[in-house]
Amino acid sequence: MELSTAANEVIQIPYHPPLAELAPEPEAFYFQWKFMYFAFRFEDPALFPPLTLLDSGDIAALKRYSSAARRLASTTLLSAKEEVTIRVKNTPSGQDESVITRFSPHDVTAGFSVMFRQFFSDSEPASFSTVRNIIGRRNRETVDADHDVRAAILKEWRSANAKLLNAPLKTIALRRHYDEMGATDQPVQGEGGRSPRETIQIFNYGDLIHWGDDRATYEALGVTKASAALSRMQFLDAIVGLSHLYLGFSVIVDRVLTACQPE
């Protein structure tokens, strides 16, 4: 059985997919979070032990992250069904290739990329890395019974982010599936190729956000209609997988913000 089938029919998530209630199509969140849960086995982020922040700037950054995550969850792109179908037929004159795509409009993808960048770019003041570091620093300053639990949870989310920057979510899940079956030598599509981090960089700074230093690399992806479609699908897989990680972490952020509210 392929993991994509198993994800729909077998894998059960023991909690509600983060922010799915805000999505135009919540089922899209359930589908992605079956892969996310299978790949990383996250505990329910809503169970993160309370932690109080003292610095007003830190609190402002977490509030920004939380509000931006809610906007990201409500986007049409995270609920869209993006597809590529490539058919090759042999003809007397050679091979005839047809490419059928189902992508969100360019303006939707470009707008989403700008919203996504806040979480993705380490230079942003309310990025995933910045906010995770704020919570981690405060946890190191806090000596209580939950210190080690919080540290372990934050380490899991940091590790998951690093993995998703280097391989697509479905690739990570499928590798875990094969490893658990003892088929460690089984190759997995998506391993060893261009990383999601590199793909996002090329699309964002070769086309979607800036026509910048990566434009030549971006243009080279579209030598054929098929290569252009497959590259765009790789980009979409990359940003969707990472987006759901960011949305999941927003539940931890909200737990911390709740503890900061005056009684």
> Who's near 37: CB < 8 A, 6+ residues apart?
11, 13, 14
Position 1 scores a pLDDT of: 42
Per-residue confidence in pLDDT tens, the chain, 263 aa: 456 655 555 678 999 999 999 999 999 999 999 999 999 999 999 999 999 998 999 999 999 999 999 999 999 999 999 998 888 777 777 677 788 989 999 999 999 999 999 999 999 999 999 999 999 999 999 999 999 999 999 999 999 999 999 999 999 999 998 888 888 888 887 788 899 999 999 999 999 999 999 999 999 998 888 899 999 999 999 999 999 999 999 999 999 999 887 55
Position 5 scores a pLDDT of: 55
Position 4 scores a pLDDT of: 61
Phi, psi of 201 (to 5 degrees): -60, -45
Please check whether residue 89 is in contact with residue 207, taking contact to mean a CB–CB distance below 8 angstroms. Answer: no
Q: How far apart are CA 29 and CA 198, in angstroms?
A: 25
Rounding to the nearest 10 degrees, give the CA dihedral for residues 154, 156, 157, 160: 160
Nearest-CA neighbor of 165 among 131, 199, 188?
199
Phi, psi of 154 (to 5 degrees): -65, -35
> For the chain, which residues make up each domain, given as ranges?
3-79+105-255
Position 190 scores a pLDDT of: 77
The model carries a pTM of: 0.92
Position 167 scores a pLDDT of: 95
Residue 37 tokens read as 């849960």
Q: How far apart are CA 220 and CA 216, in angstroms?
A: 6
